[in-house]
Amino acid sequence: MKARVTIREVAKEADVSLGTASRAINRSGRVSEKAIIAVEKAARKLGYEPDAVARSMRTRSTRVVGILVSDLANPLYAAMITAAETAFQAAGYSLLVASTHNETKREKALIDLFRARRVDGLILGPCQTESMDVINRLMSDMPVVALDRDFGDSATGVHVDHYNGALEATRYLLDLGHRNIALMTPGSDLRPGRERIAGFSDAFKERGLEPASQLIRSAKSSMEFAFSDALSLLSGKDRPTAFLCLGTRILAGVLQALRHCGHQVPHETSVISIGDTDLSQLFTPSITALNWDLNIVGTVAAQLLLKQLDRETKSEPERIVITTRLMPRESCGPVQMPIRG
Amino acid sequence: MKARVTIREVAKEADVSLGTASRAINRSGRVSEKAIIAVEKAARKLGYEPDAVARSMRTRSTRVVGILVSDLANPLYAAMITAAETAFQAAGYSLLVASTHNETKREKALIDLFRARRVDGLILGPCQTESMDVINRLMSDMPVVALDRDFGDSATGVHVDHYNGALEATRYLLDLGHRNIALMTPGSDLRPGRERIAGFSDAFKERGLEPASQLIRSAKSSMEFAFSDALSLLSGKDRPTAFLCLGTRILAGVLQALRHCGHQVPHETSVISIGDTDLSQLFTPSITALNWDLNIVGTVAAQLLLKQLDRETKSEPERIVITTRLMPRESCGPVQMPIRG
DNA sequence: CTGTTAGCGCCTTCAA
DNA sequence: TTGAAGGCGCTAACAG
């Protein structure tokens, strides 16, 4: 809209050469104190702001990082993203965000877009393992940090320990006498889902039990879907006496279904939320939840990326594991013996 | 990390000139079908991806827009941002996000950063009216869309009708007989807070009443703060019989305080949430809420910006008002006559 | 329709 | 320490 001031004009105003002005502004190379003062004064007078695009052109670095998630509004992502953004901001990086909406095609296109935009690095959330070729090519181009995704041993990433979380939560329910436990988590094709299913199953197995496979629901992350799915479970025979479910849309749907059926929590049905949000904490009864620190996940992801960005040389891949802990609240109780009627 | 393929190499491979290759790739100007085919084939063979930075350098357009909010994780923003991102993605724009954390200083720095990065446009959330000079300079540089903020008549923006929302909600509580109604909203210095206070007060005034000024709480958007603030209100004399509060951290804090004091909702105390989230819908009892469509806010904001981006000529400023509607649920009831004991 | 040329604004050699 | 010059990759203007 308006012609912006270039470094050339600043140099002229300060009566030095363009090169000196550049060095003065970037404090690089040898510059006299006098030149620095003159240049700074001129820059201030003219309202000079360096052009990041032109600078990137030369330096090959945009100081922009990208982050790819399936849905920015998912509270389990949103908190992480904020934390990451804060860390990046402090380090002088800006954050480019994009939602894949769980579409593999869009995901590939967005990765290409990030590459075309020359982001310095990428935090990758919701990627299908199937696209390993895309990921590998990407990782050879720029530093990548995986968010709870398996991209092989050569990938750096931060991972929530969903396996042990699910194990602990399931043990807790088994201890309360529950046997018909429904596990509702999206994406058995993604790491979190796989890990949860494994932990869930192993908790049964270590007691010589077998989880009912029809109670492992690979739910879509949608409230409506979870609602109707829970409804059908509750109205069927051998209805679950406990739900272990992802604490976002799915928890919302399950709670709605329980309310709809008039089931008392925890009297008739127990509920554990995977992930601890406002909803789980404030719901009445408060919901026992698997908690992990979202801020830490985001901050660590940012730090891992920044570390790789600092060293030019590719550093060793790192895997940081974030542990979960079970927050016992009011939503779980001993199983009720079925009353035969 | 790896040398990327340039358009020059593509041109050589396709045996055309650099200019023709560029025109073929961008489908601009006159190019023969034959040239297009040859160039596309060469580009595919070499794995060419246009360099967005270099392109921006020439075209003066980055096809990146910025968005500034106080907190990305605020569910009332997060849903908007996702919607906006989706709209921008469809239009070929990428989204650069930044959190101000409600610090005016950081806000200014981030605006400058966006300018330095040459974003094509900006969606501005949490800005203090005081920095009108910054805003005006900004608006002369690039298209800006205000999000629920007053930047004067010359600014384009999308605004939630908080005034009428608060008016309607307050009338509703007054109709139930409540007189001691606490209004808890952050930022009386920002548009939403001001509008809510005005609507709240006018609802009293139209019945010849006066709101108790000590019940208009300019709350910080923090659960802990809202918790202790609500606690002190509840333990004081003339305790409020109803709360009208922003539906994020503040609602959470108020609900916690009510639970802590053992107050029954709605039997002893009524609650209305400003903004409708999972929490308000699923809480027991479900919370009567002022609802507006966050997706629409985000989408409209994106559309307004895109419209300005399309026309090179500065178009007329537009103000879109999003209406709210009251969703009556279970959290409000008639006021209980105080039992004198 | 195509090739050539001239920068966009900046940083970074290379000489002086 | 400084100035001059080259070029990052691309597009737009201009001849041909």
Residue range B123-147, pLDDT digits in tens = 998 766 667 888 888 888 899 999 9
Per-residue model confidence (pLDDT) at position B1: 55
B12 is a domain residue: yes
**How many Å apart are A47 CA and C15 C1'?**
32
For the cut 50, the answer to whether the pLDDT of residue B278 exceeds it is yes
Mean pLDDT, residues A69-73: 91
In whole angstroms, give the CA distance from residue B309 to residue B1. Answer: 34
From the list B101, B116, B259, which residue is nearest A50 (CB)? B116
Per-residue model confidence (pLDDT) at position A341: 35
Tokens, residue B324: 């709210």
Q: What 3-state class would DSSP assign to B6?
A: coil
- pLDDT class of B102 with cuts at 50, 70, 90: confident
Mean pLDDT, residues A29-54: 93
Residue nearest to nucleotide C12 (CA to C1'): A19
In whole angstroms, give the CA distance from residue A171 to residue A179. Answer: 10
In whole angstroms, give the CA distance from residue A230 to residue B279. Answer: 19
Mean pLDDT, residues A27-32: 87
Residues A298 and A150 in one domain: yes
B75 is a domain residue: yes
Q: What is the mean pLDDT of chain A?
A: 91
Residues A151 and A173 in one domain: no
Interface residues, strand D, Cβ cutoff 7 Å: A 16-20, 23, 29-32, 34-35, 57-58; B 3-4, 6-8, 18-19, 22, 25-26, 28-29, 48, 50-51, 54-55, 57-59
Residues B169 and B188 in one domain: yes
**How many Å apart are A145 CA and C10 C1'?**
30
Per-residue model confidence (pLDDT) at position B53: 97
A234 is a domain residue: yes
Residues B152 and B230 in one domain: no
In whole angstroms, give the CA distance from residue A226 to residue A253. Answer: 5
Q: C1' nearest to CA of B21: which nucleotide?
A: C2
Q: Rounded to whole angstroms, what are the CA distances from A225 to A109, A205, A218, A236, A253?
A: 28, 29, 11, 17, 7
Any idea which residue has 């079908």 for tokens? B33
Q: Is the dihedral of CA B249, B276, B144, A111 positive or negative?
A: positive
Interface membership of A278 toward B (CB under 8 Å): yes
Residues B173 and B283 in one domain: yes
Residues B222 and B262 in one domain: yes
Q: What is the mean pLDDT of chain B?
A: 92
In DSSP notation, B308-322 reads HHH-SSPPPP-EEEE
Please write the tens of the pLDDT for every residue from B26-65: 998 888 999 999 999 999 999 999 999 999 999 999 999 9
Q: Does B67 or B127 have the greater pLDDT score?
A: B67
- pLDDT class of B341 with cuts at 50, 70, 90: very low
Residues 6+ apart with CB under 8 A from A322: A158, A159, A160, A161, A292, A293, A296, A297, A300
B329 is a domain residue: no
Per-residue model confidence (pLDDT) at position B93: 97
In whole angstroms, give the CA distance from residue B231 to residue B171. Answer: 25
For the cut 70, the answer to whether the pLDDT of residue B92 exceeds it is yes
Per-residue model confidence (pLDDT) at position A340: 42
A86 is a domain residue: yes
Q: Does A139 or B169 have the greater pLDDT score?
A: B169
Three state DSSP letters for chain A: CCCCCCHHHHHHHHCCCHHHHHHHHHCCCCCCHHHHHHHHHHHHHHCCCCCHHHHHHHHCCCCEEEEEECCCCCHHHHHHHHHHHHHHHHCCCEEEEEECCCCHHHHHHHHHHHHHCCCCEEEECCCCHHHHHHHHHHHHHCCEEEECCCCCCCCEEEEECHHHHHHHHHHHHHHCCCCCEEEEECCCCCHHHHHHHHHHHHHHHCCCCCCCHHHEEECCCCHHHHHHHHHHHHHCCCCCCEEEEECCHHHHHHHHHHHHHCCCCCCCCEEEEECCCHHHHHCCCCCEEEECCHHHHHHHHHHHHHHHHHCCCCCCCCEEEECCEEECCCCCCCCCCCCCC
Residues B101 and B31 in one domain: no
Residues B149 and B198 in one domain: no
Residues A167 and A287 in one domain: yes
Please write the tens of the pLDDT for every residue from B205-234: 999 999 888 889 987 788 899 999 999 999
Residues B70 and B117 in one domain: yes
Residues 6+ apart with CB under 8 A from B339: none
Q: Which nucleotides of C are covered by protein (CB under 7 A)?
A: 1-5, 7-13
CATH code for position B146: 3.40.50.2300
B173 is a domain residue: yes
* Nearest partner of B147 among B132, B137, B160, B165, judged by Cα: B160
Mean pLDDT, residues A232-251: 93
For the cut 70, the answer to whether the pLDDT of residue B313 exceeds it is no
b/e A123-160 (16+ beta carbons within 10 angstroms → b)? bbbbbbeebeebbeebbebbbbbbbbbbbeeebbbbbb
**How many Å apart are B17 CA and C3 C1'?**
6
CA-based diameter of chain A, in Å?
Answer: 97
**How many Å apart are B226 CA and D11 C1'?**
56
What is the helix (H) or strand (E) element at residue B85, kind and residue range?
A: helix B75-90
- pLDDT class of B95 with cuts at 50, 70, 90: very high
In whole angstroms, give the CA distance from residue A43 to residue A14. Answer: 8
- pLDDT class of B340 with cuts at 50, 70, 90: very low
Please write the tens of the pLDDT for every residue from A100-131: 998 888 999 999 999 999 999 999 987 666 67
How many domains does chain B divide into? 3
Residue A64 with chain B: CB contacts under 8 Å: 96, 117
Tokens, residue B288: 């009567």
Per-residue model confidence (pLDDT) at position B338: 54
Report the share of chain A in percent with pLDDT over 70: 96
**Winning range, highest mean pLDDT, from A114-128, A136-150, A161-175, B66-80:** A161-175
Residues A151 and A85 in one domain: yes
Q: Note which residues in 72-131 of chain A have CB less than 8 A from chain B.
A: 72-73, 75, 78-79, 81-82, 85-86, 89, 94-99, 101, 110, 112-113, 115-118
Q: Does B267 or A132 have the greater pLDDT score?
A: B267
**Could you give phi then psi for residue B272, rounded to 5 degrees?**
-125, 135
A319 is a domain residue: no
* Nearest partner of A85 among B88, B158, B66, B144, judged by Cα: B66
- In terms of residue numbers, what domain contains A45? 7-50
Report the share of chain A in percent with pLDDT over 90: 74
A115 is a domain residue: yes
Please write the tens of the pLDDT for every residue from B298-308: 999 999 999 99
Q: Rounded to whole angstroms, what are the CA distances from B239 to B137, B209, B336?
A: 47, 18, 12
Tokens, residue B86: 């989706």
CB atoms within 10 A of CB A18: 14
Q: Which amino acid is at B125?
A: G
Tokens, residue A119: 């982001």
For the cut 50, the answer to whether the pLDDT of residue B105 exceeds it is yes
For the cut 80, the answer to whether the pLDDT of residue A326 exceeds it is yes
In whole angstroms, give the CA distance from residue A157 to residue A319. Answer: 5
Please write the tens of the pLDDT for every residue from B186-197: 877 889 999 999
Residues A40 and A144 in one domain: no
In whole angstroms, give the CA distance from residue B302 to residue B296. Answer: 10
User: Which residue of A lies nearest to B78 if distances are taken between CA atoms?
Assistant: A73
